Chain A
Amino acid sequence: MTGDRSRLTMILLMAPLLIWLTALIFIPHAEMFLVSMREKVGVRQYEFGFANYATFFNEPLYWNTFVRTALMSVAATALTLVIGFPVAYYIAKMTRGRSKTILFLLCLIPFWVSELVRTYGWMILLRESGLFSGLLQYVGLASQPIEFLYNDAAIMVGLVYTSMLFMVVPLVTTLDSLDDSMIEAGYDLGGTGVSIWREIVIPHAMPGIVSGCIVVFMLSLGNYLTPILLGGKDSLWFTGLIYTQFITRFNWEQGAAFGFLLLALSSFIVWAGLKLSGQTLSRTMGR
């Protein structure tokens, strides 16, 4: 009786998660996979085969975009880490009480508006008739309007800005758990700032670094809006290709194959990152 009751409770508690996993993750992916394995041989005629994947490898534009997206995402992740670490360290270790809360909130505020508005904000600043261009002309550093948009640097700026919070939060959490006396002990034993960071602070923060990097990398790789809006037509972001296949060309088969390739890519890079840093998924994400 009680066994049945507790079983029922457990099923009910698990139900939302299970429904979510099956309906929104498992079924669409299974369906997508099946779609990606269909070769179009005629009008409404399909055969089972790898033709969609073969197209990807035979067309340099596709895999060039694929590699470019991966490298740009890795670079964006690294840049976010380099900028986010000092910020997180400052919030976690140098501030106390109210100012800590305020700083944390300041990191959060950009996320109160939609990504579209945030990206549009960058466009206002960076476009040819925008603020930066006008300012440079005003102070006399430029003689004519400068277009800052529609290049890789603009994409990078947008990606880093969008992901910053997801890097700072896990870093603040792990750095918070670093006892101040560890750092003091490091100084006391003759350590300098550099050696203490290298041997104590960074090893301690490693799980936070890795989990922040995983989240930021996945967000960048799967980002659509920022690269397209800030990078323009030449952005060559892989999600853009997927969008084109699905929406513009109605080639769902090709789009699904691209989707699966992106999934494989992100899984591989996360796995490689974990192996390189000597961390495990359970240690970094299970905190």
Chain B
Amino acid sequence: MAEATADLECRGINKDFGTFRAVNDVSFAVPPGTFFSILGPSGCGKTTLLRMAAGFLEPTSGDLLIKGRSMLNVPPNKRPVSMVFQHLALFPMMDVAANIGFGLRRRGEPREDIARKVDAVLARVGLPDVGSRRIEQLSGGQKQRIAIARCMVLEPDVLLLDEPLGALDLKLREHMKVELKQLQSEFNTTFVYITHDQSEALVMSDQIAVMNHGVFEQVGGARELYYDPKTAFVAGFVGDSNRFSGTIESIRGGKLKARTPSGFAMTGTSAADGLSKGDSVDIFVRPEAVRLALSKPPVSKLANATAGTVDSILFNGANSRVLVRDEATKNEIDVAIPQTGEFAGLKRGDKVYIGWDADQTRCFAAGKS
């Protein structure tokens, strides 16, 4: 993966704060034109990593390259990267055009060139007439676009984005997700985006790195992370999951049987190598992988079949869920309701049959995360 032409490349990056290691031996390469997300909970080190790329922090060890050139000891104002800050950091003392022109003025470009470039980038972000407005006169979405325009006018090799959607309300955030992705493909620039919001990462990214406790747990496409998580942390963090614990009773090839504390024998697939009989495992099953039925036959052929009563219905349009109190595992299982009309009349206290396949039952060694 580490091609020589990668826009941003990290080689064994470490960052210590005193005795605390915030970033631990992280290596990755971002190919040109990629929308690369770093997804992780707060405190996982993703902001530290981004600030090292921007130049506000120096790595304790390791190398950081942009377009193949080492950036160690290169100050932020000399790096070919730009950053969109969490709260955007637009300059309230200047109007929009002066904000966007700030970087160009620092490069000493002629006044008429600056004006032309500012107009061009404003047109590209779809706000052609706001140049003379003050920052506080802009809406949240407009500020977002101006912040991106202010960086893109400098034609950076890599644009770094530090959770810029965090401050927006839900509706605007959904809208800006699509818009950011469109802007990225329009500018065809490498975006490195950090977020703790998995849906932002899943919707927008070409590549996602899931980060936890300073290390990259897994790097891959959105589908890969969702359908084929390599660690328990990724399985739990990306998407929703029902989580069980159990002890392996038998294991052959990738298939295993694990017994839950309540005595239910779960048939599953081992997602990682090195599991053996007697190991404790965490078992993850996605809500949409659970088959829901009002009678027994449809689920009885599945590797794991059980029955339960409806505890509550979480109606959310197409994403409606039902919480089933399962008899076998004594767990509350989150099940997606198929939108076929069959379960439209489902109500609290109903008896239902549920089952899921062994392939959809992913087991990881317990204790991590």
Contact = CB atoms under 8 A, between A and B. Distances in A.
Given A189-B154, A191-B77, A192-B77, A184 B106 contact: no
A179 B87 CA distance: 9
A187 B55 CA distance: 10
B76 interface: yes
A189 B56 contact: no
Given A184-B76, A184-B85, A189 B150 contact: yes
B189 to A, nearest CB: 15
Interface string A156-187: 00000000000000000000000101101111
A207 to B, nearest CB: 11
Interface stretch (A72-80, A130-138, A196-204, A257-265): A196-204
B91 A188 contact: no
B58 to A, nearest CB: 14
A181 B102 contact: no
A185 B77 contact: no
Q: Which of A187, A188, A195 has the most CB of B within 10 A?
A: A188
B221 interface: no
A263 B55 CA distance: 53
B120 to A, nearest CB: 17
B263 interface: no
B91 A182 contact: yes
B85 A185 contact: yes
Interface string B137-151: 000000000000011
Given A179-B89, A181-B89, A203-B93, A188 B107 contact: no
B75 A187 contact: yes
Chain A contact residues: over half helix, strand or loop, or mixed?
Answer: helix
A121 interface: no
A200 B99 CA distance: 11
A183 B142 CA distance: 22
Contact of A188 (B77, B87, B93, B105): B77
A204 B86 contact: no
Nearest to B98: A199
Interface in B181-225: none
Interface of B: 54-56, 75-78, 81-83, 85-87, 89, 91-94, 102-103, 105-107, 150-151, 154
Contacts of A97: none
A190 interface: yes
Contact of A184 (B56, B92, B93, B150): B56
Contacts of A191: 77, 102-103, 106
A43 to B, nearest CB: 63
Contacts of B102: 186, 189, 191, 199
A181 B87 contact: yes
Contacts of A187: 55-56, 75-77
Given A184-B56, A184-B76, A199-B94, A190 B87 contact: no
B64 to A, nearest CB: 15
Given A181-B86, A184-B85, A185-B83, A190 B93 contact: no
A279 B312 CA distance: 61
Contacts of B92: 204
Interface of A: 179, 181-182, 184-192, 195, 199-200, 203-204
A204 B93 contact: yes
Given A179-B87, A189-B106, 20 more contacts: A182-B91, A184-B54, A185-B85, A185-B91, A186-B102, A187-B55, A187-B75, A188-B76, A188-B83, A189-B77, A189-B82, A189-B102, A189-B154, A190-B103, A190-B106, A190-B107, A199-B91, A199-B94, A203-B94, A204-B92
B154 A190 contact: yes
A175 B81 CA distance: 27
A188 to B, nearest CB: 5
A237 B242 CA distance: 83
Nearest to A183: B89
A195 B106 contact: yes
A220 to B, nearest CB: 29
Contacts of B107: 190
A190 B76 CA distance: 7
A81 B182 CA distance: 49
Given A188-B83, A189-B82, A190-B154, A182 B106 contact: no
A196 to B, nearest CB: 9
B89 A184 contact: yes
Contacts of A189: 77, 82, 102-103, 106, 150-151, 154
A182 B150 CA distance: 13
A200 B75 CA distance: 19
Contact of B54 (A188, A199, A203): A188
A203 to B, nearest CB: 4
Nearest to B151: A189
Given A179-B89, A185-B83, A190 B94 contact: no
Contacts of A181: 85-87, 89
22 contacts: A179-B89, A181-B85, A181-B89, A182-B89, A182-B91, A185-B83, A185-B85, A185-B91, A186-B91, A188-B76, A188-B82, A188-B83, A189-B102, A189-B150, A189-B151, A190-B103, A190-B107, A191-B103, A191-B106, A195-B105, A199-B93, A204-B92
Contacts of A179: 87, 89
A195 B104 CA distance: 12
Given A187-B77, A200-B93, A192 B85 contact: no
Contacts of B91: 182, 185-186, 199-200
A121 B353 CA distance: 90
Nearest to A180: B89
A278 to B, nearest CB: 11
Most buried by B among A182, A189, A203, A204: A189
A181 to B, nearest CB: 4
